[in-house]
Amino acid sequence: MSASLPGSRDLPASQYDLSTYWGRVRHSADLSDPRTLFTSSDGLEQAKQLVTQYKQGKVQAMSPDLWTAKKTIDSTLHPDTGEPVFLPFRMSCFVLSNLVVTAGMLTPNLSTIGTLGWQITNQSLNVAINASNANKSTPISTSTMVQSYFLAVGASCGVALGLNSLVPRLKHLSPGARTILTRLVPFAAVASAGALNVFLMRGEEIRRGIDVFPSESDAAKEKREAARLPLESIGKSKKAATLAVGETALSRVLNSSPIMVLPPLVLVRLQRTAWLSQRPRMVLPINLGLILTTSIFALPLALAAFPQRQAVKAESLEKDFWGKAGEGGMVEFNRGI
């Protein structure tokens, strides 16, 4: 993101009000805009140059071109490293990367092998996305990543196979109710394993803590920028890391809820119509269309549930931070995505 580029002058966090949920939704829609995936390397360099000029005081005011450059950088570069996130694992590619995998998991009447295959594929993608977008102030070791991957795969496959074997035994339910529950099994597997995946992949952050920064007033920020000084970390907090990872895990569940629930329920109703019953080949494209439409709207809503740059009272963290708070007794940290 822009924070990783040279210069002591910070850009505005967003052109929208991030203190409100709908402001964060509009900001998240920018971060997840698939059009930024088509930015060339030259276009990215131009965006970085324009933002750097602003941060170094050579450009005085925000302009439409500068907002576009910031959008490109925020959706492409990692905020801690300043390096481009691998394209398939960016939030702007999340909908496209998950489309085929989600469609596979939601395919009606999957065999046991099919269920295992798609759950493993989904967790592999989740591990890659979590690792690529995690807070990099506390690196993830390869052994931790491998261990987390196999635990998450085991959890998702166990839940999926367990529920698939349980639902047919619920004889007191009508066939229609059992069909609906069967279609919702992938959601239970994805939601539980997805949340577990985040905690496992980012467990090192909770054990070691993440960088915390003092909140600044506008006057203090202008003074620091005039002196060309960077905003320095005041230490690593385990409590901040727990909050950051917990919120990220919850946002993943919120994101998977509409994507894994609405399309299968709608598809069940559509399959009962004469039109789709006579055209079974249309099931797959309709399923893909339902998943794509739901994903496009659901992702910004889920990402906006919690601020990317989280501010909390210093007293809510370890005692080491109580005397180091900034404006209003607040400190900040990068939550990760």
Task: Let me know whether 35 and 59 are in one domain.
Answer: yes
Task: Let me know whether 204 and 137 are in one domain.
Answer: yes
Task: Let me know whether 116 and 144 are in one domain.
Answer: yes
Measured CA to CA, the distance from residue 140 to residue 1 in angstroms comes to 20
Task: Let me know whether 270 and 221 are in one domain.
Answer: yes
Residue 111 neighbours by CB distance under 10 Å: 9
Are 136 and 81 contacting, i.e. CB atoms less than 8 angstroms apart? yes
**Which parts of the chain register pLDDT below 70?**
1-4, 135-139, 337
Are 131 and 328 contacting, i.e. CB atoms less than 8 angstroms apart? no
Measured CA to CA, the distance from residue 41 to residue 51 in angstroms comes to 15
Task: Let me know whether 121 and 165 are in one domain.
Answer: yes
Task: Let me know whether 299 and 277 are in one domain.
Answer: yes
Are 143 and 206 contacting, i.e. CB atoms less than 8 angstroms apart? no
Domain span holding position 190: 92-208
Contacts of 243 (CB under 8 A, 6+ apart): 310, 312, 335
Task: Let me know whether 122 and 192 are in one domain.
Answer: yes
Task: Let me know whether 34 and 100 are in one domain.
Answer: no
Task: Let me know whether 66 and 102 are in one domain.
Answer: no
Count of domains for the chain: 3
Mark which of 84, 100, 126 sits at the end of a domain. Answer: 84
Task: Let me know whether 265 and 294 are in one domain.
Answer: yes
213: left (phi over 0), alpha (psi -120 to 50) or beta: beta
Helices (H) and strands (E) counted in the chain, each on its own, are 12, 4
Phi, psi of 226 (to 5 degrees): -65, -35
Half-sphere exposure of 168 (CA within 13 A, CB side): 5
Give this prediction's pTM.
0.73
Mark which of 84, 115, 140 sits at the end of a domain. Answer: 84
Task: Let me know whether 62 and 149 are in one domain.
Answer: no
Are 71 and 30 contacting, i.e. CB atoms less than 8 angstroms apart? yes
The partner residues of 310 in beta bridges, in order of sequence, read: 333
Task: Let me know whether 197 and 98 are in one domain.
Answer: yes
Residue 285 neighbours by CB distance under 10 Å: 10
Selection from 24, 17, 12 nearest residue 306 by Cα: 24
Question: Burial, 170: exposed, middle or buried (Cβ in 10 Å; 0-12, 13-18, 19+)?
Answer: exposed
Q: Each residue of 150-169: pLDDT tens digit?
A: 888 888 889 888 988 888 88
Mark which of 208, 236, 267 sits at the end of a domain. Answer: 208
Residue 57 neighbours by CB distance under 10 Å: 13
